[in-house]
Structure 1
């Protein structure tokens, strides 16, 4: 991925179920949505939160946190523990995406943070024992590294000397293994404990939590190296500066940044998280973000999974490019459900999908009332200067309002009419189809819509 060596990543918090009353195996749960709509395919790394430091046979090791689901007050019928959830996530995410890598994200508050390994004994010995035990745990569970949520108690209770000893030792032990193990960090503000040379030399990527309102210049000004900085994103309301959309994140990340007259690329995008109370918004925005960073290869397109992950909200705006034929379409969906409300609790979730097709033809943007959804598409396909394509498109709302026709069909030699209509109580929520690249009169080329299908829900 150009400019993002460590890809698009996200955390998942095992202890939170959604919607209320569900558990991991509920058909409508946020965890099953990740599987059903293949959200895991959008990830390079998944940070699983939160792990704790516990005593091992020699020194300390890690385990998934004790904050379990079993009989909790929010969902007393959930008889699954966090260990069950961990087992299921590792299994199911890998089934969806065999290349996904898993990071054990360490807890940042309480008495079982990384600072606990220095509770007694020789600090170097404790760090070495922990690093060796950590590798044993990661290998046993098929995980790929350690992720450090640097804030709260772990930042307050660890000294700068301990910081250097611990992470230098983990890096050394990781590098002795025959396979690559990763060390990542998501820092919030407070730099009093950092040993910045250690931070630069031991961590693969450091993705600041920009959503807490701290700026890149503040992190760099404090002494953080620009060479391994990622971008911490968030599509959950509640923090000071959560992100509004995938496009807003990508516009911040894709140009990179300048520091002391030198240009740098962000190393990754790391998103908190996939299963908050706003999980439909989070999961769909992640999928859109992945497409922005990795434009889909080939000529086919299909927005079905993204829109389904968002809860199948209505299309409320479309930009259509057309001239003699249908050149491109781009849909915007607006969510009204409780789990896709955007990053402000009073907002609806806005999902701007990618444009399908090229930039030729004239562009028209139409606004579609949310209470008058599109229920049918009609038009013509045929041959245009030897190319099979969609010649013309018309959209019709539930009230009978029409939009279009888009495409004059001039230059076509055959025309075949088509109609696609929704079943009662359904509407058009997305599109699938294909494009074809054609030459233009000036010698350039552009993509046009070769085939188009409405997705109803």
Structure 2
């Protein structure tokens, strides 16, 4: 149930700068973090918020196009500057990324406003659809995202909804390249024409973090086969998600409607640049790894933990038997920008298989792990990590994990954190080995600590 044909997607809100008093080009900016840690590599569709309708000055009739909303930024930069930077920088990181213009949902500049002048709704919709296409082509963007809530959902009639979005779909479909139409409702409303939603929009991602149950959407008329999962790692909404794992568990099992199980079509995350941006960006990258495990057998959590601000490991789950089977680190988000939505803790991905015994250790924040030691060697013909011991700042130890039974060679290793640093994550590789019962499992082939 986890095909996700439209991938894992996210929004950026161009009005907001985090940390406070930074701008786009500040080294510590939430926007620079997306570049530095290559978070854009995990994004299929990036919704840029919020766009407004704007009159076409050269038109004799009352025609509209779109423009990015206005907001000032430190250093005299504008939202248009930010838009230009993001289109440039995100595509440099990820040449396959697609950009959606996410429309404003409140005020006088929502999509409902294109019907405010004289003329038939059909002509107004056609003029807007064609002007929209010109804007998207000229700016290098790939489609429109409709945030359906607030004023736009009450001011636009059901008939106008049908006319507008079926017209946009028709204009988009006449192009030699694909242009996308996304619908992200906060709740079902009477102003939605559901036949048009099902026929005109490529994918539909309900904002499940606003508290409306998923069942409300297919019950209202949205085709359940087109529904995605709207997620959020910001604590201000009704039902914020607590971790990438929590989102993925829900997505992986799909959902039931009228006794049939459906898979989600995408995951759309609001957003990557709030006051909790380090947590958001790290969770988004973990979510991508859960959905699309890295090819090959190597792993490296440096980018995830870097995006998170290098928080301290406060819990580890280690699986071991004869050798080191798997590791998983849990980190405590500290500071304003990595507070989490569940209080503090998030889990990095597990590396290795599920064989061996499980050992969970709690690591005090004021006594972090500062070194790892152990042995590598050959176990029944396989080169791997035979044993691991963790040493805390006060000299206390955890382990050893791995009895080394069955090994034929043993080489010691030790890695110590520089002064003032601790172990914050790991990199290494796994190898798949056969088990006595005929099954297979992954074990840790080599391991290095990441310090921060």
**Does TM, scored on the shorter chain, surpass 0.5?**
yes
Q: Does 1:90 align with 2:93?
A: no
Name the structure 2 match of 1:7.
Answer: 7
- Residue 276 of structure 1, aligned match among 262, 270, 274: 274
DSSP 3-state at the match of 2:413: strand
DSSP 3-state at the match of 1:216: coil
1:405-453 Cα deviation digits (max 9, x unpaired): 0011111111111110001110000000001111222222211111100
Shift of residue 342, structure 1, vs aligned partner = 1.4
| Unmatched 5+ stretches in structure 2 | none
Name the structure 2 match of 1:201.
Answer: 199
* TM-score, with structure 1 as normaliser: 0.96
Matches within 5 A, 1:415-426: 415-426=410-421
Name the structure 1 match of 2:111.
Answer: 114
Q: Does 1:400 align with 2:395?
A: yes
Name the structure 1 match of 2:72.
Answer: 69
Name the structure 2 match of 1:73.
Answer: none
1:160-197 Cα deviation digits (max 9, x unpaired): 11000000000000000001111001101251101110
DSSP 3-state at the match of 1:247: helix
Matches within 5 A, 1:37-436: 37-56=37-56, 57-58=58-59, 59-66=63-70, 68-70=71-73, 77-120=74-117, 121-343=119-341, 347-348=343-344, 350-436=345-431
Shift of residue 156, structure 1, vs aligned partner = 1.2
Instruction: Answer yes or no: is the 8 Å Cα contact 1:211–1:240 preserved in 2.
Output: yes
What count of residue pairs does the alignment treat as equivalent?
A: 447
* Poorly superposed stretches of 4+, deviation over 4 Å: none
Instruction: Answer yes or no: is the 8 Å Cα contact 2:2–2:251 preserved in 1.
Output: no
Q: 1: distance between equivalents of 2:33 and 2:77?
A: 18
Q: 1: distance between equivalents of 2:224 and 2:349?
A: 30
Shift of residue 100, structure 1, vs aligned partner = 0.6
Instruction: Answer yes or no: is the 8 Å Cα contact 1:431–1:452 preserved in 2.
Output: yes
Instruction: Answer yes or no: is the 8 Å Cα contact 1:155–1:190 preserved in 2.
Output: no
After TM superposition, the structure 1 stretch with the greater mean CA deviation from structure 2, 40-49 or 250-259, is 250-259
Shift of residue 362, structure 1, vs aligned partner = 1.1
Instruction: Answer yes or no: is the 8 Å Cα contact 2:2–2:264 preserved in 1.
Output: no
Name the structure 2 match of 1:74.
Answer: none
DSSP 3-state at the match of 2:24: coil
Instruction: Answer yes or no: is the 8 Å Cα contact 1:3–1:254 preserved in 2.
Output: no
DSSP 3-state at the match of 1:134: helix
